[in-house]
Amino acid sequence: MLTMPVVSESSPSPDARTRLARAAVEAFATRGFHGTTTRDISTAAGMSPAALYVHHRSKEELLFELSRVGHLRVLEMVRESVAGSDDPVEQLGILVEDFVRDHAVVHTGARVINYELAALSEEHLAEIVAIRHEIDLVVRDVIDRGVAAGVFHTPDAHMTALAVLSLGIDVARWFRDEGRWTPDQVAVHYRLLALRMAGSVA
């Protein structure tokens, strides 16, 4: 498929969509989905008040797209994290490092897609919940295999998997770019914390 470079504001060029996406993330993070108007997003993207409707059917469609792309990216990432090894200890360690670093680096976007789920339509929410379930399964599988191999010990593998992801998601809430720790420093320490949570004997 040939993609033409387009500069007109009203055309569905990648640039306009990207500008709208970035403006939406900032606005949703600052004022919440319900506190943001389509006009807020369009004008923050440097476009005319109704420009959002050229690219998205509604504000909810835009949130859904941000959420879908963001969740699929994380799913892809965690699948890659575990792909390089068969050792559950190594796999969980790399997965947590990647997941935590990512939530620290893109904390604003991560907050939006984790905290605004209730604003999605029932149909869209179901799609996002399905992707989240796939992410959960990657973590659960690693912990289950570690328990089976005797390198992890936990009275509830399912709740431990949830807690490991929960700890990583909450990084998006508290992490500050100007704070005392870098994303890498948090990622490395959280790798240790997660392995301990799983009862690693390594």
Judged by CB under 8 A, the chain residues 139 through 198 that form the site for its own copies are 155-156, 159-160, 162-163, 166-167, 169-171, 173-174, 181, 186, 189-190, 192-193, 196-197
Helix/strand/coil (H/E/C) assignment for every residue in 129-165: HHHHHHHHHHHHHHHHHHHHCCCCCCCCHHHHHHHHH
Which CA distances in Å does 125 have to 29, 63, 105, 134? 19, 11, 25, 14
Site string for its own copies, 44-73 (x = CB under 8 A): ------------------------------
Site string for its own copies, 17-36 (x = CB under 8 A): -------------xxxxxxx
- Nearest distance from residue 110's CB to its own copies, in Å? 12
- Nearest distance from residue 47's CB to its own copies, in Å? 22
When the beta carbons of 91 and 160 are compared against its own copies, the nearer one is: 160
Q: Does 137 bind its own copies (CB under 8 A)?
A: no
Amino acid identity at 126: A
When the beta carbons of 5 and 155 are compared against its own copies, the nearer one is: 155
Out of 9, 22, 54, 115, point to the residue binding its own copies (CB under 8 A): 115
Q: Does 39 bind its own copies (CB under 8 A)?
A: no
Alpha-helical (H) ranges within the chain are 14-31, 38-44, 52-55, 59-83, 88-105, 107-115, 122-148, 157-174, 183-197
Kindly indicate which of the ranges 3-11, 49-57, 88-96, 113-121 contains the residues binding its own copies, using the contact rule CB under 8 A: 113-121
What are residue 53's phi and psi, to 5 degrees?
-70, -15
What are residue 32's phi and psi, to 5 degrees?
75, 160
Of 60, 192, 200, the closest CA to residue 117 belongs to 60
Answer for the pair 55, 20: CB distance below 8 angstroms, yes or no: yes
Residues in the site for its own copies, rule: CB under 8 A? 30-36, 114-115, 118, 155-156, 159-160, 162-163, 166-167, 169-171, 173-174, 181, 186, 189-190, 192-193, 196-197, 199
